[in-house]
Structures are given as C-alpha cells and as structure tokens.
C-alpha cells in the first residue's frame, strides 16, 4: 500500500475536503474495498471521526459501499470525481460574484479586496484588524484551524508587539480552535489578557485562519509563502460574524490547567 504524502493531503483540502476526509479518502485509495477497521488502523483516527468522514465522502460521491456478508465495505470512487466537487464550488463562486458586484456598485458600503504576502503582509494585516476592531466593539473574532506553529512561525519576533498593540487598543480576542490544537498555543492564548478561547471537535480544522471585525474579514493561508486575503465590506463581514456566532455557541470554553 502506498502512503499518501502530506503534500497530496494538503492539496485535497485545497479542493474542498476537510483534513479527516482527505486522510480517509487517501487511505481508501490505497486499501481498495475494505471495512472500517483497516481505515481506522491506517489513519490513526478515532472510529467516530472515520465514520463522519465516510458519510461526507459518500455525500460528495467520492466513496461508495457494498454489503458483503452483512457488513459494509467501502471503496474510493474514481479520483476524477474530485472535479465534480470543484465544479460545484466554482458554480457557487460564479453565482456569488454578481451579488458581490451589486454590493460594490449600489451599496454605500463599498467592497474592497486586498492581497497581502509574507511576514510583512501578515503584520500589516494584524495591525489593520486590531485597528478595525478598536473602531467598533473592541473584539477581534478568530476562527482558527491552521496549525498554531504556523502562526508563531510567521509572526516571529513581532509577537510581543502584537500583544502590546491589543492591550493598547483595548481589543479582546475571541477565538474558536480545534480541540487538537497544541496545548502550548492554548495555554499561551489563555494567559493573555482579555481573551476567550473555545474548543471544537478535532475534525474542525483547515489550512486557514479567519479574523473578523464588523467591517473586515481576513483569511490567512499558511503555505511556503503566507497569503492574506482582506475583504473590506460590512455586509460580508456580518455574514462571517454570523457564522462565528453559530460556532461560538457550540464551542466549549478552554481553561488552562497550568
């Protein structure tokens, strides 16, 4: 059985699969027709997470199953099925663009999109988000998902300046992160002033991190070169905030044991 590479797993997430879906799909490609036992063994995921991923893959038509001696046996569908998933996302984007343009053309709240790169762009974005939050409710809402080590890698020595800026501008951080986020990050976050961290199940993960204020939503993509997409628009920011509030109600508050 060929082991699927981390690069390929990342690329599967780029085309719309969650981290667990990508791992399970990759395992199925190597295993062929199989029951859930070998999938759990190969992926190292908890059985419940494997079942959830299989259900999602079935809904995407990326997996099928048959009954054999009274047991479900799963197999990966042809990889070309990924194209159908990508086309669906493209159709959604195509339908969204005219609505966004209408906001830009007629709304008093103009739409502005900026792309920032690398360490300097990352710092510029953090400053923009904190300044924006300070103009409104003094809360920066964050939907985590990317590995905590990536945040520290990109921010580097500027981290103390970031904490000082938040304090000076009296901006609180409310963050939602996967349960399997590194304990070091969770404890560091919990020790900062004016922060609340809530935890979601481990399969709540992605390659990105989203920061939200009443006028701004930013998407941080951690790769060889960090890319940040800034969307300045109150209507769009409100939709991101609504999504955040929905997740916030489901999250469990993290309390450091140290």
What's the angle, vertex CA 195, arms to CA 189 and CA 197, rounded to 5? 65
| Total Cβ atoms within 10 A of residue 28 | 25
Is residue 195 within 8 A of residue 173, CB to CB? The reply is yes
The answer as to whether 1 is a domain residue is: no
Q: What pLDDT does 41 receive?
A: 92
Give the residues across from 196 on adjacent strands: 174
In-domain check, residue 60? yes
Reading the block at residue 48, the tokens are: 């419940």
Q: What total of structural domains would you count in the chain?
A: 2
pLDDT class for 245, splitting at 50, 70, 90? very high
Quick one: pLDDT at residue 203? Answer: 62
Band (pLDDT 50/70/90 cuts) for residue 120 is very high
Residue 64 included in any domain: yes
Angle between helices 36-43 and 19-31 (to 10 degrees): 120
Q: Which of 197, 207, 198, 229 is nearest to 216 (CA)?
A: 229
DSSP 205: -
Residue 144: give its domain's CATH number. 3.30.870.10
Query: Domain residues for 60?
Result: 6-81
Average pLDDT on 225-238 reads: 92
Q: Which residue, 47, 81, 115, sits at the end of a domain?
A: 81
> What's the rounded Cα separation, in Å, for the pair 130 and 66?
53
CB atoms within 10 A of CB 225: 11
Question: Do 66 and 132 share a domain, yes or no?
Answer: no
* Same-domain pairing of 72 and 146: no
In a domain, 94, yes or no: no
Between CA 42 and CA 36 the distance in angstroms is 10
Q: Do residue 168 and residue 135 come from a single domain? A: yes
pLDDT band at 257 (very low <50, low <70, confident <90, very high): low
Does the pTM of the predicted model rise above 0.85?
no
User: Three-state SS string across 63-75, please?
Assistant: EEEEEECCEEEEE
Q: How confident is the model at residue 230 (pLDDT cuts 50, 70, 90)?
A: very high
Do 149 and 36 have their domain in common?
Answer: no
Over residues 52-75, the pLDDT tens digits come to 989 888 888 888 899 888 889 999
Domain presence at residue 95: no
- How far does Cα 192 stand from its chain's mean position? 23
Alpha-carbon distance values, 119 to 125, 153, 155, 179, 220 (Å)? 10, 9, 7, 27, 12
- Average per-residue pLDDT in the chain? 84
45 within some domain: yes
Rounded Cα gap, residues 137 and 94, in angstroms: 33
Round to the nearest angstrom and report the end-to-end CA distance of the chain: 43
For residue 238, CA distances in Å to 141, 221, 244, 248 come to 12, 21, 10, 15
Q: What is the mean pLDDT of residues 126-155?
A: 89
pLDDT value, residue 108: 56
Here the CATH number for the domain that contains residue 48 is 1.10.10.10
Whether residue 122 sits in one domain with residue 56: no
């Amino acid at each position: 059985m060929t082991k699927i590479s981390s690069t390929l797993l990342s690329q599967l997430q780029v085309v719309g699969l969650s981290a667990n879906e990508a791992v399970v799909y990759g395992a199925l490609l190597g295993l062929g027709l199989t029951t859930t036992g070998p999938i759990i063994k190969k992926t190292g995921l908890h059985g419940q997470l494997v079942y959830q991923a299989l259900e999602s893959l079935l809904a995407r038509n990326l997996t099928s199953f048959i009954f054999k001696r009274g047991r479900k046996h799963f197999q990966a569908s042809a990889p070309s099925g990924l194209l159908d998933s990508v086309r669906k996302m493209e159709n959604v984007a195509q339908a969204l663009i005219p609505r966004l343009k209408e906001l830009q053309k007629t709304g008093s709240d103009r739409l502005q999109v900026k792309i920032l790169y690398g360490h300097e762009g990352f710092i510029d974005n953090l400053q923009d988000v904190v300044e924006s939050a300070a103009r409104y409710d003094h809360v920066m809402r964050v939907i985590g998902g990317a590995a905590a080590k990536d945040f520290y890698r990109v921010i580097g020595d500027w981290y103390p300046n970031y904490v000082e800026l938040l304090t000076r501008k009296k901006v609180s951080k409310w963050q939602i992160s996967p349960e399997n986020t590194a304990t070091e990050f969770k404890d560091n976050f919990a020790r900062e002033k004016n922060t609340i961290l809530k935890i979601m199940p481990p399969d709540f993960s992605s390659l990105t991190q989203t920061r939200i204020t009443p006028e701004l939503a930013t998407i941080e993509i951690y790769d060889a070169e960090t890319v940040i997409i800034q969307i300045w628009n109150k209507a769009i920011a409100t939709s991101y905030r609504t999504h955040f509030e929905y997740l916030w109600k489901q999250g469990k508050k993290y309390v450091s044991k140290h």
